[in-house]
Amino acid sequence: MDLKPQFRVTRRQFVTASAAAMAAGGVTASFAPIAEAVRAPEGLSGEPGDRGPFRVIIDTDPGVDDALALLLAMRSPELKIEGITPVAGNVPLELGLPNALRMVEIAGRTDIPVAPGAKAPLLRRLVTARYVHGENGLGGAVFPEPKTLPVDEPAAEFIRRVVRKYPGEVTLIPIGPLTNIATALKLDPELAGMVRGIVLMGGSLSGGNITPAAEFNIYVDPEAARIVFQSGVPITMVGLDATRKTSLIEEHVRTLEAAQNSVSQAAAKIGRNAINRNREQGFLVGPNMHDSLAVAAFLDPSILTFKEYYVDVEIYGELTAGETLGYSPSAGDLRRKPEMEKQATMNMSIRGSAPTLASTKTSPVLRDRWLPNAKVAVDVDSAKFFNLLIGRLSASA
């Protein structure tokens, strides 16, 4: 099976062009025209079942929590899943792609096309998380080899084609590194204006999980993440600030095991292996259902509490690459009297680092005024979330 994506531009060409843009003025400067046109995030889907189905593409790096997120999505009638686009992340693509195909078969949804994506980040060597997800990406849970084949179209082209076919209708739900999404946006500069929204699992405003600063999905490909956050597409960021409160426990697994359907049995098998793996490694809690929460955020936004931020991604820091930074004129030391907040919003500038002694430049102003580009999940009703997740996975088809 040939997993190499055939983009309109080769990865070498993309790397060369991107590196040149960064050298000339940084990623921020390269995408300033799009970033300045950023739109305020739109509302999500509303209460479950009240509207829809909604067209979505799920971009994923399966992955224990990705696998359960995929099963949740395929068990949700609110979603019209136009495709699944695996990407290298938790595991290499040669493992993640078959895992996605396995989930499609387990859910009885082989009608959903699976398009192989990027095998490596835009500019960096791939870092995986096999130490969390096991050698096969599913916590050691073993399933038969998939019989379903992926489509021939590479993920970035697939995303581009589907969004253009349904302009303004398709929401992207990336729950892995953002390489595929960034590549699609770079290939087609008009695409950002056609995407309904992006609901992503990634980032954190309260510290990372692979470094003290960075969450894993953003860390793996920070350049791609910066492209996405600066694209102007309305973004909902479901990061560690909320997902750290979604630990899978024995009671959840027992409920899944008691249900007699293929989806619940597969989810239980993956979940039990993941819990056992966490125990063996000495963790007191977990595993957390990071990616399932992002899917749930689209299905029922009332599960989460959101706050608007301007979010950007650090790409240069030796110790902080992949850190997501949230700017708000009503947070921390920046808080003002309510009657002054509007004025503060207009006047708040987003600054880059102070110049070195060897430079004659002044501190760059990356944005001359504050404008939110993301709704960030800052809290979660864990009980309500697990009622949705376990309820749908254990229900009869």
> Under a CB-based contact definition with an 8 Å cutoff, are residues 142 and 270 in contact?
no
Among 290, 367, 375, 392, which one carries the catalytic annotation? 290
Alpha helices in the chain (DSSP H): 11-30, 32-36, 64-74, 93-106, 130-133, 155-165, 179-187, 216-220, 222-229, 240-243, 250-258, 262-280, 290-299, 338-347, 382-394
Residue 38 is predicted with a pLDDT of 39
Element (DSSP H or E) covering residue 373: none
Q: What is the dihedral of CA 103, 101, 174, 307, to 10 degrees?
A: 0
What the block records as the tokens of 298 is: 């689209």
pLDDT of residue 35: 35
Scan for tokens 């966490």, then name that residue: 278
199's CB contacts (< 8 A; 6+ apart) are: 44, 171, 172, 173, 235, 236, 238, 294, 295, 297, 298
Left if phi > 0, otherwise alpha if psi is -120 to 50, otherwise beta: which for 372? beta
Question: Could you list the pLDDT tens digit for every one of the 397 residues in the chain?
Answer: 444 433 444 444 444 444 444 433 444 433 333 333 334 444 444 444 456 799 999 999 998 999 999 999 999 999 999 999 999 999 999 999 999 999 999 999 999 999 999 999 999 999 998 777 677 878 788 999 999 999 999 999 999 999 999 999 999 999 999 999 999 999 999 999 999 999 999 999 999 999 999 999 999 999 999 999 999 999 999 999 999 999 999 999 999 999 989 999 999 999 999 998 878 777 777 799 999 999 999 999 999 999 999 999 999 999 999 999 999 887 766 666 776 766 655 577 888 888 888 877 777 888 888 889 999 999 999 999 999 999 999 997 6
Known catalytic residue at 252: no
Helices and strands, counts by H and E, the chain: 15, 10
Q: How far apart are CA 173 and CA 7, in angstroms?
A: 21
d(CA 31, CA 313): 13
- pTM, whole model, 2 decimals? 0.87
Parallel, antiparallel or unpaired: strands 374-380 and 235-238: parallel
Residue labelled with tokens 């902080």: 320
Alpha-carbon torsion angle 87, 93, 95, 101, nearest 10: 50
Amino acid at 145: E
Upper half-sphere CA count for residue 161 (Cβ side, 13 Å): 13
Report how far residue 226's alpha carbon sits from residue 230's, in angstroms, rounded to the nearest whole number.
6
Phi and psi dihedrals of 371, rounded to 5? -145, 120
